[in-house]
Chain A
Amino acid sequence: MSDSLSHAALPGVVIAFLLFQVKDLLILIIGASFSALLGAHFIILIKSTTRITSDTAMGLILAVFFGGGVMLLPIVNRTSSGNQAGLDTFIYGQAASMIGSDVFLTSVLAGFVILIVMIFFKEWKLYLFDPDFAKGLNLSLNVMNMIYILVLVLTIVIGIQAVGVILMSALLIIPPVSARHWTHSFRMMLWLSGGIGGVSGAVGTTISALGTSWPTGPFIVLTSGFIFLISLFFGTKKGLIVECLIHRKNKKEVQKQLFSPSVVKGGNP
């Protein structure tokens, strides 16, 4: 879902730029949110009214919206002062191109997202793990769904500026999947996932600053990928090594039981 929404944001950015002719981050973000929300609604509509499966609907919206955005880009190029460079970084991401006010706006939006998650923490937990019970408690699933998509879109839109449309989904997927290998608690997973995301962002940016004109986004993604690999092997809850150890321990116990005296006495050893 995250992948298709981050692609679906592109036409919104381009149209917003086309309409207002300014490269103000706030306007671009509003445009992006609008078209990403539209994409989300189309996906849900297609999924619920036809027999097309959700992954097909997502792929479809992703490609068509992105195609629409790419189609509009040259028009922007021609009409305005030919200043497409800023929009380009919106696609591929270049954190270095951000200016002070952009950073401020991003921080405010990020704070807002964190606030929503924190305030409704109990409700989110119910909504995710036991939607039926949540419904029974008079919690509107539709409203929760809408808030969730809104928050998701906001997160995507502010992330795009730093890592670009294409690698945005990496940052949404890799940290939680890594965190999943360390804990079973929802609260811990949130903290860990946020931490992993933050560390990869900081380390990735530092690495990309070492070389000349090294892209920021890919290095952030690679850092988080590295953390994921470590979690996959050494994670304390679902890590491969832990599972291997448990497996070996169980095997030994079973073997011990098989050759225990009581069994041997009954038959031929």
Chain B
Amino acid sequence: MTYTMWILLTASLVGISCGIVGVFLILRRMAMMSDAISHTVILGIVVAYLMTHSLSGIHMFIGAAFAGVLTAFLVQLLHSKGVQHEASIGVVFTILFALGVILIATKVGNAHLDVQHALMGEISFIPWNTVQIPLLGKIPVATLTLIIVLVLIIFIIGLFYKEWKITTFDPALAASIGIPVLGLHYLFMTLISVTTVAAFDAVGAIMVVAMLIAPAASAYLWTDSLFKMIVLSAIFGTISSVAGYYFAVWIDTSISGSMAFATGIVFFLSFIFSPRHGLVSNWIRPLRTK
């Protein structure tokens, strides 16, 4: 496969994974949580690096997933102690992020970690860092990670599809029929952390937020069915990443930035033209019913 193909494949994988997870994220009204986690995983990665002194994938994953769950746990804890939900998110993630940045600046020094890279991501280097896999040949590490994560996401979401649906739309009912709502909450948080880390290399932490929220929010405007929403969101994610890539190449700029921007365009179009909730249809509908 060519250089461009690998980048497009990686970006599409990010779009699909984030699109699927994002649907549940916005339906559970936890969009800001993704912003928080995308910042705190940096702390997880730094701590994992300080403990193992290696930058290999698996340590990073464990550290990041741990940081994500820690964030969710602390937010929940503060919230139960009477701090407003949004405020507790703000307090927790900024402190953890500040810790991470300080650790990078003082301890890690000139290692391969730097804040800029983690926040902005640099997708154009991905095809150079490959591993040899039997049957498939040479595959970039980031792409392989994303494939594994995507399979994991589809597996976990698919396996507990019913349970996810109930806990998302009616947590009280779910609790009353014996579904572990809190357990699923933490499982979901782990899933978001893992997705965020996997997408890190490709689009950077902040662009992950765009990829998580915007396609799902756009899909939310098009349909009322959960399954259709997931599919649409994955499609929107893919379209934005591909369009974003070509746009970035065209005007020669940051690829991850323009991908995030493309998700915004997709949302903007949905906002105007969606058949159910769009501006145009809201404007036409009263005329039709007359």
Please list the residues of chain A having a beta carbon within 8 angstroms of any beta carbon in chain B.
2-3, 7, 46, 49-53, 55-60, 62-75, 78, 92, 166-167, 169-170, 172-174, 176-177, 180, 211, 213-215, 217-219, 221-222, 225, 228, 232, 238, 240
Interchain CB contact under 8 A, A67 and B207: yes
Contact of B261 among A3, A64, A167, A211 (CB under 8 A): A64
Interchain CB contact under 8 A, A64 and B82: no
Q: In the complex, what's the smallest C-beta–C-beta distance from B85 to chain A, in angstroms?
A: 9
The range of chain B's interface size is 35 or more
Provide the main secondary structure of the chain A interface: helix
User: Can you identify 10 A-B contacts, CB atoms within 8 angstroms?
Assistant: A60-B31, A63-B214, A67-B263, A70-B206, A169-B90, A169-B94, A173-B91, A174-B94, A221-B95, A232-B78
Q: Please report the C-alpha to C-alpha distance between residue A143 and residue B128 in the assembled complex, in whole angstroms.
A: 55
Interchain CB contact under 8 A, B105 and A214: yes
A-B contact count (CB 8 A): 177
Contact of A225 among B84, B95, B119, B267 (CB under 8 A): B95
Interface string of B245-264 (1 = CB under 8 A from A): 00010011110111111011
B81 nearest CB neighbor, chain A only: A240
Q: Please report the C-alpha to C-alpha distance between residue A170 and residue B40 in the assembled complex, in whole angstroms.
A: 13
User: Does B83 sit within 8 A of A, measured CB to CB?
Assistant: yes
User: Does B209 sit within 8 A of A, measured CB to CB?
Assistant: yes
Interchain CB contact under 8 A, B254 and A74: yes
Binds A, one of B9-17, B64-72, B96-104, B228-236: B96-104
Contacts A63-B263, A67-B260; A215 near B102 (Cβ below 8 A): yes
User: Does B197 sit within 8 A of A, measured CB to CB?
Assistant: no
Interface centre among B34, B99, B115, B261 (most CB of A within 10 A): B261
Interchain CB contact under 8 A, B95 and A50: no
Q: Which of B45-103 contact A (CB under 8 A)?
A: 78, 81-84, 86-88, 90-91, 94-95, 97-99, 101-102
